Structure 1
Amino acid sequence: MEPAGEAGQQFRKLAGEYLDHLASRHPDRATELGDHRFDDRLADHRAAALDDERRELDGFAARLAAIDQARLDPELRVDAAMLANGVQRRIFEITELREHTWNPLLANPGQALYLLLARDYAPLGERLNSLAGRLAAIPGALAAARESLRQMPKVHLETAIAQFGGTIGLATEEANAALRRATDGTGASPAVAAAVAAVERVRPAALDALAEHKDWLSARLAGDDHAGRGGFADPRIGADLFARKLALTLSASADAGAVLARAEADLERVTEEITAAAGRLGGTPREVLGRLGAAVPDEATILAFCAQALEAQTAFVRAHDLVTLYDDPVEIIDMPEIDRGVAVAYCDPPGPLEPVPGATFIAVSPTPKDWTPQRVASFYREYNRHMVHNLMVHEAMPGHYLQLQHSRRFSGATRLRAALWSGSFVEGWAVYAEELMAAHEYPGEGDPRAVRMQQLKMQLRMIINAILDARVHAHGMTEAEAMALMTGPGFQEDGEAAGKWRRAQLTSAQLSTYYVGYTEVADLASDLRERGMSQRAAHDAMLGHGSPPVGLLRDLV
């Protein structure tokens, strides 16, 4: 056998076995990706299971190291690098970060349940059987979580309590709606009736377990430390863990200090740009953004407004020949209540491994029903009509929706690229898309200068996100310092800034993906244009290899 072919065969076999491992160890993630073999299971976070997972990961790392990767073709070398990074990241999570011991959000089964109900990827009876399996696993999973969880950060406890309340609502109201759909009409088939009965049989114990766990978390928040594990943990993971996690999240040998330094320099540069742009509109940035913020969306018609924006953006991209367009189905939908209050829209694509993909959802939200009028007004000043145009560029055209259409069309020798897609590339492309449309004077409501102001404000937000990420977790930034940065140089509304402060504590390394991804995508696009490629050819080349990290994408284009 020819050696290069042997290396390729070895790697493809390894890749397939790793994906089987990933799906079986992380069933909720498999469901999200579109692999439905384990839809009736929840992940096992017990110490023994994590020890077993670690040994399996060590085995994958050793087998990968034994393959002569120089003999792999370029696409497989990218897959091999992504697999190596994925293995090392999960080992880091288990052995160093150890979130299962301090982050109560990881134990919430809500997303695992929601994924079974949100899309019609299989007949309802099949999905209800899977729902019954996951509901049956909840009492044991939550009992195991209580054994593992020690000191927890206060902000994580507060958020987990609220989210567990949402999961109880999901397991009650959304499950009831699914059961009604299953039994409506002329009567359910015997198989569907059996699935309905299975859900009804296990759901009471699951709801009791969810309520018990929520009460346990509330007692921990209140300081009722009968378990002898009192006090709150610091939500900051510290400089060493942050630097390691950032490098693994970005799939690169990223220098956390260098990322922070570039972000702070870019903050000054973009501040100068938005000041100049505001001057052309006759004011300071705060004055101009204040005027633009008065054009607020109408809650009753915001879905129609977003649909019109998507139509206009699609026509604009086609007219300016920015990138190849596809016509995969897309639906503008009401955002689920449990997701409202963070942003006015988000992109929810079908899983990249779905054999028959459905529509991409652009979920659009009115404000939560329990918000005060003042908070609603602040939210819509932030997400005014001009900003929604820019947001739809990011989420839809030519941002996430279009990029993921291209990504789905990549057909590699393994499915690793789809399962281990790079968040920094996906987010970086969407931020780059905002800049691209503004540079071509996309008019939005009729004045491209207004869109440009919002795009620059979003650039400031993106840069500040990276600064917050590093300074909160590695340099001890206080809430007052963070709020001053966001509401001052960032021109953010108080409500938006307060939400971001919570997010900076709840997550680590994720807020940096937008900024680092954008800088890498923009640099690569510039390099390709300097080589003489047309704008459309450069963009198609960048989007034509799935969603790998930009550093690896450079080897392919």
Structure 2
Amino acid sequence: MKLGSLRLFLVLFVTVFIFSCDRQKVKESGETTTPDQQFDALKATLLEKLWRLNPEWATSVGYHKYDKELVIVTPQRIADEVKSYESMRRDLHQIKLTSLSQNNQTDYRMLDDFLDGRIWYLTVLKPVEWNPAEYNIGNGVAEILNGRHDSLTNRLRSISFKIEHVVPYYEAAKNNLKNPTQEHTQLAILQNKGALTVLNDLADSVKIARLKPFEKDFLNSRIATAKTEINSYLAYLQNEKLPAIRKGQGRSFRIGKELFTQKFKHDIQSGYTAEQVYQKALAHKAELHRQMLALTQKVWPTYFPDKPLVPGLAGVKQIMSKIAEKHVSRDSFLIAVKAQIPQLVDFVNKKKLLTQDPSKPLVVRATPEYMRGVAGASISAPGPYDKSANTYYNVTPLDDYTAAQAESYLREYNHYQLQILNIHEAIPGHYTQLVYANKAPSVVKAVLGSGAMIEGWAVYAERMMLEEGYGNNAPKMWLSWYKWNLRVTLNAILDYSVHVLNMSEKEALNLLINEGFQEETEAREKWRRATLSQVQLSSYFTGYTEIYDLREEMKKKQGKEFNLKQFHEQFLSFGNAPVGYIRTLMLAKSAVN
């Protein structure tokens, strides 16, 4: 053999030998070989990158590796973040979707949808330029301070590092804001004032913590600096931005048809378009009115035995006004919420509607000040990385309401409607659904949640509970639910009408009060919410419609084999995936069985 041929032979031999050894190592180490294994490894990588880019979101789902980080939103940071998401998307597209299992195909689509959405938010919607409420250290600090994942001492150390950079944080906020809306500026003022109360709580915690003296000095100094910066930001918004906005230098809170349509696509992930949901909501409103008119005829003699029935919606409004008279006092509202939770637990167990987990605590509390200004009630649930943490049911106190406003609010959340609210927010609504989501085998399905699925489940739970006999089929309870479901329906109509059709405040209040039978305080709060959010108000009706349709489809498909408890538990087992994706998975399982 010639020398050149010998060298070539040796090179080929060594190459083949190394390749064989590497392949044997892969086999012995169990490294990824199938598309699903490759994708599982990629999911872990993408999620890690995601948490590094979004440390506060990571904290909120119980992933505390980046608690010390505070994101300074500069133009360069935004550009880098977009590049990161684009790179993540390219990595995702290296895997062939159809080569994956059904469950992983759903995760793939959810990741793809999320990355597209994030890029769109950063490059098209750009809320950092017009929403001053995007900037608030209160929530991130409070999440760590109120956590249970580590000792108070270590949590305070993380917070100390986090707020070290509060000066450039708020400086960047001022530099980014180009044309804020008046409504979001006022929200930012309210919520950043709430952040000051968080810092006061933080200072109290420092006193009792086992920090070293120099650590306490550092942290107290940083707390003082943070208060100064928040007050500076508040002054900037109050003394510079609000006057400029009133002179016409801000932008409208309305985002218009094009942006609304795009945002609906990214946020809702429905089989329907925004306009189709709007049209379906209009039709559903008419159906609800028909149902309420029929029940009003039955209930009328109970309240007005000596008066003739007032025809049309005016008669319904009179009945709903009488039903609203039965409510708790303003001082016992929070107490009443707490008292109803065990009753709901008992009903769900008795009817065997789904399996509950008593080991997951639900804590009813007054809404923290830094979270106020958007919704009267909400759920703050732990993420899949911190499943044992408390779930908080936030109920906003009526302290700031006048007597008339409080009475209006309490009439809205009267004896019957308060029960429906608790079904929606707590059991078997948001609280129950989010406990199930944390048990989903896929972290992706838990953290990249579909708002329409989450809100839709809570709305579906209301109707399902009444269908199963909650409230003893009392006409008053059903009328109250029709009104409540009408609220969900009008949310979608209002959302589209305000941002796409330029509905005025006067027109909105007329819709909510005279066609939705809402109290004035509730209606005005909903108008405010419509000015502060876009698309989110459409999520309730969209998700509810899709879930209820899926249940009826499964009942028809399975016939006598259909089991409501099994349907609920199977549906919830897929985490927070969009309803359309869950439908595909459930139908696939049904076909196999």
- Compute the TM-score of the two structures, normalised by the length of structure 2: 0.87
CA contact (8 A) 1:347 1:360 kept: yes
Match of 1:528? 554
CA contact (8 A) 1:400 1:430 kept: yes
Match of 1:544? 573
1:71 offset after TM fit, Å? 1.1
Is the aligned partner of 1:223 residue 2:247?
no
Q: Kindly provide the CA deviation profile for residues 210-244 of structure 1, in whole angstroms up to 9, marking residues without a partner as x.
A: 1111111112344259xxx9612011111111101
Q: Kindly provide the CA deviation profile for residues 36-94 of structure 1, in whole angstroms up to 9, marking residues without a partner as x.
A: 11111222321101111111111111222221111111111000000000000000001
Aligned counterpart in structure 2 of residue 326 of structure 1, from 349, 354, 357: 357
Match of 1:514? 540
Is the aligned partner of 1:264 residue 2:282?
yes
1:348 offset after TM fit, Å? 2.1
Q: Kindly provide the CA deviation profile for residues 130-170 of structure 1, in whole angstroms up to 9, marking residues without a partner as x.
A: 22122222211110111111011111111211222111222
CA contact (8 A) 1:7 1:69 kept: no
Is the aligned partner of 1:176 residue 2:208?
no
Q: In structure 2, what residue type is equivalent to 1:141?
A: Y
Is the aligned partner of 1:362 residue 2:393?
yes
Larger deviation: 202-211 or 447-456? 447-456
Identify if the C-alpha distance between structure 1 residues 76 and 334 changes in structure 2 by more than 3 Å, giving closer, same or farther. same
Match of 1:402? 432
Q: Kindly provide the CA deviation profile for residues 505-536 of structure 1, in whole angstroms up to 9, marking residues without a partner as x.
A: 11111111111010111111111111222111
1:300 offset after TM fit, Å? 4.1
1:465 offset after TM fit, Å? 0.8
1:251 offset after TM fit, Å? 2.2
Identify if the C-alpha distance between structure 1 residues 181 and 380 changes in structure 2 by more than 3 Å, giving closer, same or farther. farther
Q: In structure 2, what residue type is equivalent to 1:358?
A: A
CA contact (8 A) 1:171 1:207 kept: yes
Alpha-carbon separation, structure 1, partners of 2:211 and 2:187: 41
Match of 2:250? 232
Q: Kindly provide the CA deviation profile for residues 385-428 of structure 1, in whole angstroms up to 9, marking residues without a partner as x.
A: 2111111111111111221222222213xx21122011111110
1:372 offset after TM fit, Å? 1.1
1:344 offset after TM fit, Å? 5.2
1:176 offset after TM fit, Å? 2.8
SS of match in other structure, 1:347: strand
Is the aligned partner of 1:115 residue 2:138?
no
Is the aligned partner of 1:211 residue 2:217?
no
Q: How does 1:256-295 map to 2 (within 5 A)?
A: 256-282=274-300, 284-295=315-326
Match of 2:12? none
Alpha-carbon separation, structure 2, partners of 1:242 and 1:416: 26
RMSD: 2.2
Match of 1:77? 105
CA contact (8 A) 1:220 1:230 kept: no
Q: Kindly provide the CA deviation profile for residues 334-376 of structure 1, in whole angstroms up to 9, marking residues without a partner as x.
A: 313414576554322222221x5223222334312x3211111
SS of match in other structure, 2:422: helix
Q: In structure 2, what residue type is equivalent to 1:474?
A: V
Match of 2:259? 241
Alpha-carbon separation, structure 2, partners of 1:143 and 1:273: 55
CA contact (8 A) 2:383 2:438 kept: no
Larger deviation: 204-213 or 426-435? 204-213
Q: In structure 2, what residue type is equivalent to 1:400?
A: H
Q: In structure 1, what residue type is equivalent to 2:325?
A: A
Match of 2:423? 393
CA contact (8 A) 1:306 1:332 kept: no
1:21 offset after TM fit, Å? 1.8
Match of 2:170? 142
SS of match in other structure, 1:34: coil
Q: How does 1:459-478 map to 2 (within 5 A)?
A: 459-478=485-504
Is the aligned partner of 1:553 residue 2:573?
no
Is the aligned partner of 1:503 residue 2:529?
yes
Alpha-carbon separation, structure 1, partners of 2:544 and 2:215: 46
Larger deviation: 498-507 or 289-298? 289-298
Match of 2:7? none
Q: How does 1:194-205 map to 2 (within 5 A)?
A: 195-205=215-225
CA contact (8 A) 2:185 2:242 kept: no
Alpha-carbon separation, structure 2, partners of 1:530 and 1:5: 41
Larger deviation: 36-45 or 508-517? 36-45
Identify if the C-alpha distance between structure 1 residues 303 and 531 changes in structure 2 by more than 3 Å, giving closer, same or farther. same
1:503 offset after TM fit, Å? 1.1
Aligned counterpart in structure 2 of residue 31 of structure 1, from 59, 83, 87: 59
Identify if the C-alpha distance between structure 1 residues 104 and 189 changes in structure 2 by more than 3 Å, giving closer, same or farther. closer
- Compute the TM-score of the two structures, normalised by the length of structure 1: 0.92
Aligned counterpart in structure 2 of residue 380 of structure 1, from 387, 403, 410: 410
CA contact (8 A) 1:438 1:448 kept: no
Is the aligned partner of 1:106 residue 2:134?
yes
CA contact (8 A) 1:344 1:383 kept: no
SS of match in other structure, 1:233: coil
CA contact (8 A) 2:334 2:366 kept: no
Alpha-carbon separation, structure 2, partners of 1:296 and 1:349: 28
Identify if the C-alpha distance between structure 1 residues 168 and 189 changes in structure 2 by more than 3 Å, giving closer, same or farther. closer
Match of 2:460? 432
Match of 1:8? 36
Alpha-carbon separation, structure 2, partners of 1:342 and 1:59: 35
SS of match in other structure, 1:334: strand
CA contact (8 A) 1:126 1:195 kept: no
1:312 offset after TM fit, Å? 1.7
Identify if the C-alpha distance between structure 1 residues 470 and 169 changes in structure 2 by more than 3 Å, giving closer, same or farther. same
Match of 1:185? none
Name the structure with the higher helix share. Answer: 2
Tell me which structure has the larger Cα radius of gyration. 2
Aligned counterpart in structure 1 of residue 120 of structure 2, from 72, 87, 92: 92
CA contact (8 A) 2:429 2:459 kept: yes
Alpha-carbon separation, structure 1, partners of 2:239 and 2:154: 38
Alpha-carbon separation, structure 2, partners of 1:216 and 1:189: 35
SS of match in other structure, 2:234: helix
1:274 offset after TM fit, Å? 2.0
CA contact (8 A) 1:353 1:419 kept: no
Alpha-carbon separation, structure 2, partners of 1:170 and 1:4: 46
Match of 1:458? 484
Identify if the C-alpha distance between structure 1 residues 4 and 253 changes in structure 2 by more than 3 Å, giving closer, same or farther. farther
Match of 2:17? none
SS of match in other structure, 1:531: helix
Is the aligned partner of 1:19 residue 2:47?
yes
- Identify unmatched segments of 5+ residues in structure 2: 1-22, 301-308, 310-314, 587-593
Identity within the alignment, %: 28
Identify if the C-alpha distance between structure 1 residues 58 and 448 changes in structure 2 by more than 3 Å, giving closer, same or farther. same
Q: Kindly provide the CA deviation profile for residues 464-490 of structure 1, in whole angstroms up to 9, marking residues without a partner as x.
A: 111111111112111111111111101
Alpha-carbon separation, structure 2, partners of 1:160 and 1:363: 19
Larger deviation: 289-298 or 336-345? 336-345
